[in-house]
Each structure stands twice: as C-alpha cells, then as structure tokens.
Homo-oligomer: A and B are copies of this chain.
Amino acid sequence: MALSEFDLIRRYFTHGARGVTLGVGDDAALVRVGRGAELAVSADMLVEGRHFLKGADPALLGHKTLAVNLSDMAAMGARPRWATLAIALPKVDEAWLGGFSRGFMALARRYSVALIGGDTTRGPLTLSVQIMGEVPPGKALRRDGAKAGDDIWVSGYLGEAAMALEMIGGRGWRGLSRDDRRTLEERLHAPTPRVALGLALRGIAHSAIDVSDGLLADLGHICERSGVSATIEWEAIPAIPLVRAHAQTDSGARGLLSGGDDYELCFTASPRRRAAVMAAAARSRVRVTMIGRIERKARSPAPVTVLDSVGRALKVKARGYDHFR
C-alpha cells in the first residue's frame, strides 16, 4: 500500500507523551510550558551531502539529527521537552523512514523529549529539527557571560569525529584497529548530547557553548559575545591517545582544534567554583577538563590563543566549519 504524506507522520512519529495537550495531527500541537519557566528554542537543518553522506544509515542519522539539537539545549542549561521534525524525501521509502524514526525516537525517549509535530514532503533529502526546552528565568547558560579570570573547561574528549571524517575511506583507515575504527565512527555518528551536564552547570558556569563547529570557532563565539579573549593549552585539550597521536600531524591538529562535530560542552566558570564544576560533572557522569583561561579582550584579531607546552603561541589555521567560506 502506497503511503501518503498524511499517513507517514502518523505511522512513524506519533506516540503518546506527557505534557502534550494535542500532538501530531492537527494544524498545530499544543503544549504546556512549566509555570514561570522560559522557553528555549533552537533549530537546525541538515542537508544530504553536506551534513551527512548520501547513503548514511538512517537509524544513526535519526539519532544524530536529534542529538545535535539536544546539544544546543545542553549548551543553554535547558531541559529539552518537545521537538518538531520536517523531512524532505526524494521518494517514500518505508525502510528508510522506519530506520530513521527508530534512531530518532529512541533518543527522544531516552531524554523524555516528545515529538509534537512536523512536516513530510518530497524533495532532496533535507532534515529540519526544532527543539524546545524549559529553563528557569535568568538561569540559562549563555555565550555572553564569560569573565576575565574564568577557567575554560571542556567535557569529554575532542577530535574523534574529525579524525573519523578525515580518515574514513582512506589508506590510514585500514591501518587502524577494528576497535579504534569503531570508537571513532561511534563518535561521528552517534554523539551523546551533554544535557545532564548543562542542567547541572546552571548557577555555576558563566557561559557555555556546544562544540559543533570546532573548539576554536565555538570558544571564539563565547569570546566575541562576552567581549573577552581566551588562552588555551594545547597539551591540556582532552583527547584519547589515538587522536592525540594523530594530532602530531597538521591535519590531525586542525581536526582537534577545528574539526568540530564533537558535541561536547565548552564552558567557563570562576576559579572559585572548581569544586562545584567537578561535582556537577560527577553527577552527570561525564569528565570535564580545564584547558585554559579567559583573559581581557586582546588587541589580536584572533580571540583564542593556543599555547604549546612552553608557553609559545601556536600558529593555527582554519577557523572551524563555516558553510559559506
């Protein structure tokens, strides 16, 4: 039976959910925002060939599509609650849709996010997700609150997705162990959004961002919005041994600093709050690493300076993944 557009939404994306007065199926969904809470809203578009490869596994893509948006919520210290999903597909492909919705909905359930609406239409494969969450007024983590003297922290490890992207399909890829390849691929395809950490950092971090375009680019955004500079130590950037070794090469170093797709949180906090930061990380079951310090705004055009082990500034090329450069 050929599926019509009208059925697709119902079949793959409807499920009962708390806090949803009216779900998929009407002109709009209706939801109740928690009393007094502010609504955090974030949107993302993913295009085949640009954000994911043609032929990407749909379940992994479903996971990642939601994960990158949950990461935006994490960076605000918001509790994700609802999402909408608009999909353009070249043709009805039930196997593909089934896989995609499995990956998407499994992650949604894990984070108690309700899919409340969206659209399906015909076109080149394009995915558009909007996510909405709640945060108490004044408590959101923002990009513009970093203060000179703050410690700079980053969660988890960086560089794995970039290394995977760089090496998959090339000669070096086969030289890696199976375990190593699996590690890198998992981080590329199915990152873990740091929602719990974002929530735990409310009232502690002065600013936060999720590392999606790349550490330098994203930390750079914090600096620009906050009117400050940053100094980070090359050796302190957390990376698994495989990535750290690869970072001896130019491309590996660029990947670690600017490859992006990490979906870790980069945040700043007062040095007096180090214990609180560590406790927040422990509660969220994720490691955090101090990598540098916020300084007053420097004259240098580049907001972020990377220092080697003896304190010399490294020359850094490539400022993160900017689609239109």
Contact = CB atoms under 8 A, between A and B. Distances in A.
A123 B123 contact: no
A28 B116 contact: no
Given A44-B119, A118-B43, A26 B128 contact: no
B122 A124 contact: no
Contact of A38 (B32, B92, B117): B32
Given A45-B126, A86-B45, A143-B25, A40 B50 contact: no
Contacts of A26: 76, 142-144, 225
Contacts of A209: 27
Interface string A2-15: 11111010000000
Nearest to A220: B6
A143 B41 contact: no
Interface stretch (A102-110, A132-140, A246-254): A132-140
- Quick one: which of A41, A44, A123 has the most chain B CB within 10 A? A41
Contacts of A126: 45, 47, 88, 123-124, 126, 128
B86 A47 contact: no
A142 B22 contact: yes
Interface in A82-121: 82, 84-88, 91-92, 116-121
Interface stretch (A160-168, A179-187, A275-283, A317-325): A317-325
Interface residues of A, number: 73
Nearest to A91: B324
A34 to B, nearest CB: 10
Contact of A39 (B30, B44, B91): B30
Given A88-B45, A121-B51, A324-B2, A76 B28 contact: yes
16 contacts: A4-B324, A26-B143, A27-B76, A27-B208, A28-B131, A30-B38, A31-B38, A32-B137, A43-B128, A45-B86, A47-B88, A47-B122, A47-B124, A48-B123, A120-B324, A126-B128
Contact of A50 (B8, B121, B325): B121
A223 interface: no
A72 B8 CA distance: 19
Contact of A28 (B21, B78, B225): B78
Given A26-B76, A209-B27, A210-B27, A84 B119 contact: no
